[in-house]
Each structure stands twice: as structure tokens, then as C-alpha cells.
């Protein structure tokens, strides 16, 4: 996002830092300050997460992924959260072949310590 947009959003968020007597003199003026602050925070949330504060609140309350941006593009407002996939660690042991390439196995090859290149551990989806 552009710096000008960020500065504008921050200025809106800080607009609630007005005079303390504004509530006493004119209660409606105080509501404008609160509205400016909420709008600024909403814009900052939209820039950083792609969701407004309302999207965050409704998504947390319904345990779904809600986005007004997705809805404005013709998609559904809320979609179910993706279920997490169980992950396991898989270690592969690699050895040099006669052709100069590497062959990797899930178990160490006994007796081939001279051709051992190294091992690698990855997180992979559980079978």
C-alpha cells in the first residue's frame, strides 16, 4: 500500500485524540471522533490482513473465514476454515551413485558410509 494511504488511515485513527471537554460541550462531536478512529483502525486492519474489524469479529464469533472484500467480488461473505492437516517428519538419507547422481532412501543404507552425502528432514502430510 502507498505511504499516503497509511498516513491517512493513521490520521483518522488518531482523530479521536481531541479535547477532553468535547464530550461535555457537544456529545455529537465526540461521536464523530470515535467514528473517525474506528474508520482509521478499520482501514489499517484492511491493509494489514485484508479484512475489516467487522470481518475479524464475525469470523471469530462464527469460527469461519469472513471477508467483505471477497463478498464484493461476488464470492461468499463467510467460508468454512480449512481443516488443519496432520504433519509428520520424514527423514531421507542420500547416497552418491556410480553415475554421480544422488539416490535418497527413508532408511540409512548399511555399509555404504563412503557414498553418504547427507540427510534431510521434512514435514510432510501424514498418510
Give the pLDDT mean for 1-29. 62
In terms of Cα–Cα distance, which of 29, 37, 30 is closest to 11?
Answer: 37
| Confidence band of 48 (pLDDT split at 50, 70, 90) | confident
Quote the pLDDT of residue 12: 59
Alpha helices in the chain (DSSP H): 3-14, 22-25, 27-49, 53-62, 68-72
Q: What percent of the chain has pLDDT over 70?
A: 76
Whether the predicted pLDDT of 7 surpasses 70: no
What pLDDT digit, counting tens, does each position of 96-115 carry? Answer: 988 888 899 989 988 888 88
In whole angstroms, how far apart are CA 115 and each of 102, 104, 112? 9, 11, 6
Q: Is residue 9 predicted with pLDDT exceeding 80? A: no
Contacts of 68-76 with CB under 8 Å at 24 or more apart are: none
Identify the pLDDT of residue 57. Answer: 92
pLDDT for 61 beyond 60: yes
Q: Which region, left, alpha or beta, applies to residue 111 given φ > 0 means left and ψ of -120 to 50 means alpha?
A: left
Give the residue with greater pLDDT, 58 vs 22: 58
- pLDDT reported for residue 47: 85
Comparing CA positions, the residue from 48, 91, 90, 86 lying closest to residue 69 is 48
The pLDDT value given to residue 23: 54
Q: How far apart are CA 42 and CA 40, in angstroms?
A: 5
Amino acid at each position: 500500500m502507498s505511504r499516503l494511504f497509511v498516513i491517512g488511515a493513521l490520521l483518522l485513527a488518531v482523530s479521536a485524540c481531541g479535547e477532553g471537554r468535547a464530550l461535555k460541550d457537544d456529545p455529537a462531536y465526540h461521536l464523530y471522533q470515535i467514528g473517525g478512529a474506528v474508520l482509521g483502525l478499520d482501514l489499517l486492519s484492511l491493509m494489514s490482513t485484508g479484512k475489516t474489524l467487522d470481518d475479524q469479529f464475525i469470523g471469530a464469533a462464527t469460527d469461519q473465514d469472513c471477508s467483505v472484500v471477497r463478498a464484493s467480488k461476488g464470492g461468499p461473505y463467510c467460508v468454512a476454515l480449512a481443516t488443519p492437516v496432520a504433519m509428520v517428519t520424514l527423514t531421507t538419507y542420500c547416497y552418491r551413485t556410480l553415475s554421480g547422481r544422488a539416490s535418497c532412501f527413508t532408511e540409512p543404507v548399511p555399509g555404504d558410509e563412503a557414498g553418504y552425502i547427507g540427510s534431510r528432514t521434512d514435514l510432510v502430510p501424514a498418510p
